[in-house]
Amino acid sequence: MKPVIIIGYGPAGITAGIYLKRNNINAMIIGKDLGALDGYTDLVENYYGFEQPIPGKDLIAQGVEQAKHMGIQVVTDSVISLKEIEGGFEVATAKHKYEAKTVLLATGKTRTTINKPGFIKYRGKGISMCATCDGYFYRRKKIAVVGCGAYMLHELEYLSRMSPDVTIFTDGNILEDEVTHKVVTEPIVSFIGTDKVTHIETTNGQYEVDGIFIALGTPSSVEFASQLGVIVEKNNLLVNDQYETNIPGLFAAGDIIGGKLQIAKAVYDGMMVADSIYQYLRKK
Ligand SMILES: Cc1cc2nc3c(=O)[nH]c(=O)nc-3n(C[C@H](O)[C@H](O)[C@H](O)COP(=O)(O)OP(=O)(O)OC[C@H]3O[C@@H](n4cnc5c(N)ncnc54)[C@H](O)[C@@H]3O)c2cc1C
């Protein structure tokens, strides 16, 4: 039985693997892709240590290579089930089953994109998937946030600090006392622009915008964990101060536990959870 299996090789999972290795614990890390920044060629410019902004996917890929270089076992595969067994957990992919005393869920959050004309064309050109990353560029500008539910409200809270002019485009039920913003409920038809997005077209007309933030959260990895009976609150896995879920030996870190959805925070979580896992294994 392995001491630790880490599911996810984004910043949280890789950092945890590195800090565990420094404590002489060899984790196995399984990831299916580069996570939130998979295929994201736009530049990350708010992470420490890069003089020049770095394409998101390159930053994550370098983290994976760093772990491999340190001798950490990194496997590319999709975990399809996780269950408790005597003394730990069984982690299954389509072809393999692995056993471990502890599991770290560092599976990130799935951000749902929007399948409307113009989305692909203007993603990164006025359409953003992350308020904390790009909201700053739209200070005092005309902002639209598209979505509903807890994730949209999270993004709205941040964007409202950047501009007084934020409109919600939603097909969900937004309670009037929940927000004080303009709300547009007619369906979006397309995103229109020139070299960058300038308007949202709905079935009722066109709305001028400077920046659009998509916040259609359906975090499938949270659902995956909740099948095990992990307590979920507002689409985040609930963990204690040691990053442990309500199931002993099952830890979680990074975007999946909520808070700032940022690389720096995921890296911090990864470092902290490694220490907790180390302490847990010592007591076993
Ligand atoms: C478009 C976009 C732009 C962003 N720009 C910035 C930015 O400029 N600066 C910044 O700080 N942050 C940015 N972020 C946020 C940042 O990417 C995340 O906060 C960070 O990647 C979270 O790290 P994580 O390790 O928790 O999860 P992720 O990086 O999402 O990694 C999750 C990992 O879990 C794996 N996984 C999930 N489910 C399974 C499964 N069933 N089996 C196996 N593996 C699985 C994935 O393959 C992946 O390896 C951006 C996010 C997006 C979407």
Q: What does the alpha-carbon distance between residue 91 and residue 98 come to, in Å, rounded to a whole number?
A: 5
What is the number of the ligand 1 atom nearest to the C-alpha of 46?
Answer: 9
pLDDT digits (tens, 9 = 90+) for 241-268: 999 999 999 999 999 999 999 999 999 9
Question: From ligand 1's centre to the CA of 175, what distance in Å?
Answer: 30
Residue-level pLDDT at 248: 95
Residue-level pLDDT at 219: 40
- Report the residue among 6, 30, 37 best suited for mutation to probe ligand 1: largest number of ligand atoms under 8 A from its CB: 37
Pocket of ligand 1 (CB under 6 A): 7-13, 30-33, 35-37, 40, 44, 46-47, 56, 78-79, 106-108, 111, 129-130, 133, 221, 224, 254-255, 261-264, 266
Residue-level pLDDT at 262: 94
What is the number of the ligand 1 atom nearest to the C-alpha of 221?
Answer: 38
pLDDT digits (tens, 9 = 90+) for 36-77: 888 777 789 999 999 999 999 999 999 999 999 999 999 999
- Which phi and psi angles does 196 have, rounded to 5°? -140, 165
What is the number of the ligand 1 atom nearest to the C-alpha of 42?
Answer: 3
Strand partners, 147: 215
- Other CB atoms within a 10 A radius of the CB of residue 139 amount to 11
User: Mean pLDDT over all residues of the chain?
Assistant: 90
Residue-level pLDDT at 16: 98
Residue-level pLDDT at 134: 86
Residue-level pLDDT at 234: 77
Report residue 241 as tokens: 């101060």
Q: What does the alpha-carbon distance between residue 103 and residue 2 come to, in Å, rounded to a whole number?
A: 10
DSSP 51: S
Q: What does the alpha-carbon distance between residue 71 and residue 191 come to, in Å, rounded to a whole number?
A: 46
Share of the chain above pLDDT 70, in %: 93
Asked if pLDDT for residue 178 goes beyond 70, the answer is no
What is the number of the ligand 1 atom nearest to the C-alpha of 12?
Answer: 25
CA angle 236/125/48 to nearest 5° reads: 55
pLDDT digits (tens, 9 = 90+) for 196-239: 999 999 999 999 999 999 988 544 566 567 667 888 887 789 99
Asked if pLDDT for residue 136 goes beyond 80, the answer is yes
Residue-level pLDDT at 218: 44
* C-alpha to C-alpha distances, 87 to 24, 72, 146, 221, nearest whole angstrom: 21, 23, 45, 24
Nearest CA to ligand 1 atom 6: 133
pLDDT digits (tens, 9 = 90+) for 141-176: 999 999 887 668 878 988 999 999 999 999 876 655
**Domain residues of the chain, as ranges?**
2-110+219-283, 112-216
Examine domains 2-110+219-283 and 112-216 and report if their fold is the same.
yes
Question: From ligand 1's centre to the CA of 115, what distance in Å?
Answer: 21
Cβ partners under 8 Å of residue 157, min gap 6 = none
Q: For residues 210 and 126, is the Cβ–Cβ distance under 8 A?
A: yes
CATH 1.10.3720.10 fits 2-110+219-283, yes or no: no
pTM over 0.75: yes
Closest Cα partner for 215 from 163, 268, 142, 166?
Answer: 166
What does 33-45 look like in DSSP terms, one character per residue? S-GGGTT--SEE-
Q: What is the CATH number of domain 112-216?
A: 3.50.50.60
Question: From ligand 1's centre to the CA of 53, what distance in Å?
Answer: 18
What mean pLDDT comes out for the span 264-283?
97
More confident residue, 272 or 174: 272
Q: What does the alpha-carbon distance between residue 55 and residue 42 come to, in Å, rounded to a whole number?
A: 5
Asked if pLDDT for residue 133 goes beyond 80, the answer is no
- Report the residue among 15, 29, 32 best suited for mutation to probe ligand 1: largest number of ligand atoms under 8 A from its CB: 32
What does 91-156 look like in DSSP terms, one character per residue? EEESS-EEEEEEEEE----PEE---STTHHHHBTTTEES-HHHHGGGGTTS-EEEEE-HHHHHHHH
What is the number of the ligand 1 atom nearest to the C-alpha of 220?
Answer: 38
Residue-level pLDDT at 179: 67
